[in-house]
Structure 1
Amino acid sequence: MSIGSNTLVLDNGGYTIKAGLVRGAEIDEPRVIPNCIARDRGKKIYVASDLENCRDFGEVQFRRPVEKSFIVNWEAQKETRLILTEPPNGLPVLQANCDQMVFEEYGFASYYRGVADSPSASSFNAYHDVQTIFQAPATAPNVAPAPAEVLMVVDTGFSQTTVTPLLRGRPLHSAIRRLDVGGKLLTNYLTRLISLRHFDVRNDAYIVNEMKEAACYVSSDFKGDLEKSWKGTRGERREEYLSGAGIARDYILPDFHTRSKGVVQEFDPSRNSKARRLAAAAQSAEDVITLRNERFTVPELLFNPSDVGLRCPGLADLICQSLQQLPVGLWPGLLANIVVVGGNALFDGFIQRLQREVVQRVPDDCMVRVARPSDPITYTWRGAANLANHAHIERLSVTKQEYEEHGAAWGRLSARVRIRTDTE
């Protein structure tokens, strides 16, 4: 069967879909589309990119097809190949369901995704010129003719955070580790803090998520920042607290009339009293939330999930656990090539904090390098797009004809054999 030269690359994330076409050597810019169905307070429905037309995100309700990074709800090109990202160690029943939808519902000509013994979503990050991230990143992404020899990928996204060591583009499954802390949990935690300290925002997850992305950061001195933002004992107001200590920020909430997005401003100690005077005069005032230790205690869950009672190690310890499952000879290469992707990588201070904590936990003779690509959200998609131009992509893919003749189980087995043959 002759397959067209068009390949649709789809990175189906929990928060956004990154999608774009690869036409031979030409790689389109990916579209980043909200991966959800939303309903506003007027009961109007928005599907995916329709969300851009929503003018009031107050009390918007969301339904998402992805849970814990796996597709669980499929309510979402005859001559087109599909490359679909998938998290590592997926459940076979979800993989079979995915195969069925791709071929029987959407009718793609051929299909490649991460199966049990083949590259997962994290593996696509190996199909870059990885060393440019650690030195002088180019303005245009370089296409790697072969996957990076050794790479440690930290994918911290909406649903979870995974640590995946890669050897020649293939995940070492016994060493993959997962942390059930992602952007969704961080947003929920910030929602809870604001609802307790300010006013109820439990129905405004979209607004809180924007607040998190705009105002939160990873602290390099958590205890010191916590001390600076401490109010003091009852009846006491510490000077650092009153002045904001360089930590406090005012977040102006959107009113969806004059402002469609919230705005972060420098802390103004007089703003709260001014707002009270205006309210007393029955005049409308801006809705302001003063963020103090919320700014850094929320991202801190990535490094210390026990702060909210989760019985799991932090990200740096997770990397060390992954290394413990591998031969010591691989440690130097993996530690020198740690690439962080996903939306949470955009927190200020994240890379510096992770590198410092990993350095404290590994042997002194190991060089540790942690880097983030210029666009960590689409980096995995671009790696998959580079794979679409790989010389053996047709051998790696399973065609619709093969699926119809032999079934999904044969397709997965065939893909494994092809990958082993190709790498050998």
Structure 2
Amino acid sequence: MAPGHRRTKSSGPVPPARTLVIDNGAYTIKAGFSSPSIDAPTPSIIPNCLARDRDKKVYVGSELSKCRDFGEIAFRRPVDKGYVVNWEAQKEIWEHEFFDDKAPLHCEPKDTGLILTEAPNALPQLQLNCDQVVFEEFGFASYYRCAAPTLNAYTDIQAIFPIPPRGAAIDTQLAAEILLLIDSGYSHTTTTPLLLGKPIQTAVRRLDVGGKLMTNYLTRLLSLRQYDMRNDTYLVNEIKEATCYVSKDFKADMEQTWKGPKGDRRPGYATSGGIAKDYVLPDYHNRSKGYVRDHDPSAAGKLKALTSGKSAEAAEDILTLRNERFAVPELLFNPSDIGIRQSGIAQMAMESLSQVPFGLWPGFLANIVVVGGNANIDGFISRLEGEIRALTPAECIVRVGKAEDPIVNTWKGGATLAKDVDALSKLSVTKQEYEENGAGWVVRKFRGR
């Protein structure tokens, strides 16, 4: 080489024109495209399952919306305990939703980048399998795999905790400086302290209570007390979402819903102080959806219409819920009620904080953000804030806020990150780098090593 001649460093491949952001949840997939040219990207919410109804018809992902009879429907889910453990099923769903010619989110992987979420502290072998599928099975141009809570640092925290900014306007594309993220979803609940958009790994805590466990618990209660609902967990999940709430005073609500000693029913038990609600079950003929109404003590007598000569349409199948309404979500705060030897969600948040320097506590306590489907349970945020405030030093300000849409908030953070091409390029791995360095190198890079 001639003296003084310098070889120009290759700038590498051109970044993909757009990025597919997938928040691969256990219950639903939140997916959509984002790029600097897309002003307000919006996600699609896709059931992350394969389903088979009583007529043996199979539904893949979004096809579940075509099902009209959810009685005894069976599900096969690729995600268990928050981690993808069945890639055969997951690939079938992805292919249907993203790679089929008629898919609404159709893309060519070789021309598309990918941001994919995972649960915190996933096993290395599961991460390795995921990376191999992304590059070897689908062949995406670039790829960034991250723990789902981290993407929430790229959302507009000021919208949750509105404080007039001092000086220059805040760039919402930058990661929030300090944030305690509580993610309560289908499989589990986690607390993750985020500092400058990066998780403090030693402080991540997990509670094995999520939407699935609460639905199963409600199924058990209803099956013991009223109808056998063990083959109708999809319907029970709808009942849970429509009727359950977090109690402000658990003991007082239990007192109101107490039936009284045998043979001496309490007079207020019928309505239980307004707590009792009736859920009218769908019959999948006249009603494809159930609905909630105030408890009618005389409604049970209407079931006798079938034996009194009246038409079958005169009768309704009704579930009456009393203490089930608040006893089920109470598991988030007191999992020991059903024998789970773990701390409740408020204590878990404090356990996370105990692993960070005390000087950072005020920042984390003032910026607690809750995401995930369970954040929508009525009364959840106020109860959580009260319990955390009772456990913290009096001089600390405690603020607990729910994202505007807690189900898609993680996805919105990924969409915001995808708009910053330079930042995403530093975090991502290209297919060329994967082929040159191998899957083990990719795992180490995503761990920050």
TM-score greater than 0.5 by the shorter chain? yes
User: Are 2:26 and 2:187, in contact at CA under 8 Å, matched by a contact in 1?
Assistant: yes
Counterparts in 2 of 1:279 and 1:263: CA distance versus 1, 3 Å = farther
Q: Tell me the residue number matched to 2:240.
A: 212
Shift of 1:257: 1.4
Give distance in 2, aligned partners of 1:250 and 1:43.
31
Give distance in 1, aligned partners of 2:323 and 2:445.
53
Deviations 1:104-128 (A, max 9, x none): 00110000012xxxxx210100002
For residue 367 of structure 2, the aligned residue among 319, 337, 344 is: 337
Shift of 1:145: 2.5
Alignment of 1:91-106 (within 5 A): 91-106=123-138
Give distance in 1, aligned partners of 2:307 and 2:55.
28
Deviations 1:224-257 (A, max 9, x none): 0000001111012212112331100000001111
Give distance in 2, aligned partners of 1:318 and 1:312.
9
Give distance in 2, aligned partners of 1:113 and 1:388.
13
Give distance in 2, aligned partners of 1:316 and 1:343.
18
Q: Tell me the residue number matched to 1:306.
A: 336
Deviations 1:59-116 (A, max 9, x none): 00001000111111112211100000111111000000000000000110000012xx
Alignment of 1:85-164 (within 5 A): 85-114=117-146, 120-135=147-162, 144-164=172-192
Give distance in 2, aligned partners of 1:215 and 1:279.
30
1:4 is the counterpart of 2:24: no
Q: Give 5+ residue unaligned stretches, structure 1.
A: 115-119
Counterparts in 2 of 1:241 and 1:143: CA distance versus 1, 3 Å = farther
Residue type of the alignment partner of 2:398: V
User: Are 2:82 and 2:187, in contact at CA under 8 Å, matched by a contact in 1?
Assistant: yes
Counterparts in 2 of 1:143 and 1:50: CA distance versus 1, 3 Å = farther
1:287 is the counterpart of 2:323: no
Give distance in 1, aligned partners of 2:280 and 2:394.
46
**Counterpart secondary structure, 2:273:** coil
Deviations 1:153-176 (A, max 9, x none): 000000000000000000001010
Q: Tell me the residue number matched to 2:398.
A: 368
Residue type of the alignment partner of 1:89: N
User: Are 1:127 and 1:143, in contact at CA under 8 Å, matched by a contact in 2?
Assistant: no
Residue type of the alignment partner of 2:346: A
What is the aligned residue count? 409
Shift of 1:279: 4.1
Give distance in 2, aligned partners of 1:14 and 1:366.
35
User: Are 1:111 and 1:398, in contact at CA under 8 Å, matched by a contact in 2?
Assistant: yes
User: Are 1:60 and 1:204, in contact at CA under 8 Å, matched by a contact in 2?
Assistant: yes
Residue type of the alignment partner of 2:52: R
Q: Tell me the residue number matched to 1:17.
A: 29
User: Are 2:370 and 2:406, in contact at CA under 8 Å, matched by a contact in 1?
Assistant: yes
User: Are 1:143 and 1:386, in contact at CA under 8 Å, matched by a contact in 2?
Assistant: no
TM-score w.r.t. structure 1 length?
A: 0.94
Q: Tell me the residue number matched to 2:113.
A: 81
Shift of 1:181: 0.2
Alignment of 1:24-423 (within 5 A): 24-26=36-38, 27-75=40-88, 76=91, 77-114=109-146, 120-135=147-162, 144-281=172-309, 283-284=311-312, 285-390=315-420, 391-415=422-446
User: Are 1:149 and 1:168, in contact at CA under 8 Å, matched by a contact in 2?
Assistant: yes
Shift of 1:300: 0.3
Bigger Cα displacement from structure 2, 235-244 vs 43-52: 235-244
**Counterpart secondary structure, 1:43:** coil
Give distance in 2, aligned partners of 1:20 and 1:86.
17
Give distance in 1, aligned partners of 2:206 and 2:447.
24
Give distance in 2, aligned partners of 1:414 and 1:34.
31
User: Are 1:128 and 1:143, in contact at CA under 8 Å, matched by a contact in 2?
Assistant: no
Shift of 1:143: 6.8
**Counterpart secondary structure, 2:183:** strand
Shift of 1:278: 4.3
Q: Give 5+ residue unaligned stretches, structure 2.
A: 1-12, 92-108, 165-169
Q: Tell me the residue number matched to 1:117.
A: none
TM-score w.r.t. structure 2 length?
A: 0.89
**Counterpart secondary structure, 2:279:** strand
Bigger Cα displacement from structure 2, 93-102 vs 270-279: 270-279
Give distance in 2, aligned partners of 1:249 and 1:316.
28
User: Are 1:161 and 1:178, in contact at CA under 8 Å, matched by a contact in 2?
Assistant: yes
Residue type of the alignment partner of 2:425: E
User: Are 2:191 and 2:349, in contact at CA under 8 Å, matched by a contact in 1?
Assistant: yes
Give distance in 2, aligned partners of 1:123 and 1:376.
14
